[in-house]
Amino acid sequence: MARVFSGIQPSGELHIGNWLGAIRNWVALQDQYECLYCIVDQHAVTGQYDPASLALRTREMAIGLLAAGVDPNGSLLFVQSHVPAHATLAWLLTTIAPLGELERMTQYKDKSQRFESVPAGLLCYPVLMAADILLYRAEKVPVGDDQTQHLELTRELARRWNRHFAGGDAFFPEPEPILSPARRIIGLDGQAKMSKSLGNTIAVTETPEQIWDKLRPAMTDPARKTRKDPGTPEICNIYALHRHFSPEATVTEVAVKCRTAGWGCIDCKRVLADNMIQALAPLRQRSLDLAMRPAEVTTILADGAATARRLASETMAEVTTRMGFLPEAS
């Protein structure tokens, strides 16, 4: 069975961008693939973060993923820092990673602007991501649009390593992204990608009241100034969200009511809020239930890490041999 690997940072709560863009695919792929899902806490420390809340956020992310349907009976769910081989392989990959390509990564260019003195970890972030995937020799990687450039670099590193150390054999497969129809969800500001760091998110576990409080002021078609103006659904982010949360008949109705000014934006948002609340209700309930059973979550993560360490050590034995390191016992 081919392997799937994916990761998510515990840098904030699981939001509907993560869920629609990647996590629903994580869940769906569990039937056909051997799946490994990782909470990438070592990636989360490459930006500014609060050490006092990292452990809590990591647990909350585990709860969110389990509530969304990651099934620990068939898949592995684990924390990156619990498997030290991720960092070891990342170091080895930095030795063949082209600096120019790292500097050209879009996310690096965006995020490095926030620093006066740019940490090297931010530059090497995609190398750690490549190590995550290659460590398990995964072939498929369900992600949102923003990660496809990092995956291209992963394929490049796999090719380079194979050329340098495996005589051109495909020891590391070149992993392919699996994208969902919702590969880029725009935030409530109607402008930028939905992202916790921009504060334009809705978390999958928010209460109905919180969802409404966030949707009510959300950006719509900016050209629609008054209730009587007809709107253009194609440029409205609320319409885009309807396409992911509302039944097809409602989506059609929304488009007509918008174009004819039959509904005001607030009417349209009310319908979206109802559908979103209904879609997220089971996730919210499951995460409340899981939060009451912390020992179960601890065991799931410990079991996942133990299996991941075993799989990782198989790859690392090959990698260190092929790279010529002296084995400990000889």
Active-site residue set: 111, 193, 196
CA 78 to chain centre: 14
The answer to the question of residue 94 lying near ligand TYM (CB under 6 A) is no
Minimum Å gap between C-beta 147 and ligand TYM is 4
Task: Write the interaction track for ligand TYM spanning residues 137-176; mark x where CB under 6 A is met and - where it is not.
Answer: ----x-xx-xx-----------------------------
The answer to the question of residue 122 lying near ligand TYM (CB under 6 A) is no
User: Using CB under 6 A, which residues numbered 188 to 207 contact ligand TYM?
Assistant: 193-195
Q: Exposed, middle or buried by CB within 10 Å (0-12, 13-18, 19+), for 117?
A: exposed
The answer to the question of residue 8 lying near ligand TYM (CB under 6 A) is yes
Shorter beta-carbon distance to ligand TYM: residue 131 or 263 = 131
> For the chain, how big is the Rg over CA atoms in Å?
22
User: Within 13 Å, how many C-alpha atoms sit on residue 46's CB side?
Assistant: 20
How far is the C-alpha of 17 from the C-alpha of 180, rounded, in Å? 11
Type and span of the H or E element at 165:
helix 148-165
Q: Which of 184, 214, 243, 286 binds ligand TYM (CB under 6 A)?
A: 184
Of 2-10, 98-106, 164-172, 212-220, the segment contacting ligand TYM by CB under 6 A is 2-10
- Rounded to the nearest 10°, the torsion over CA 200, 201, 207, 211 is 60
Residues shown for the chain: 330
Contact of 280 with 206, CB cutoff 8 Å: yes
Shorter beta-carbon distance to ligand TYM: residue 79 or 224 = 79
Shorter beta-carbon distance to ligand TYM: residue 150 or 224 = 150
Paired with 8 in beta bridges are 39
Shorter beta-carbon distance to ligand TYM: residue 154 or 287 = 154
Residues at the site binding ligand TYM, with contacts judged by CB under 6 A:
5-9, 17-18, 21-22, 40, 43, 129, 132-133, 141, 143-144, 146-147, 183-185, 193-195
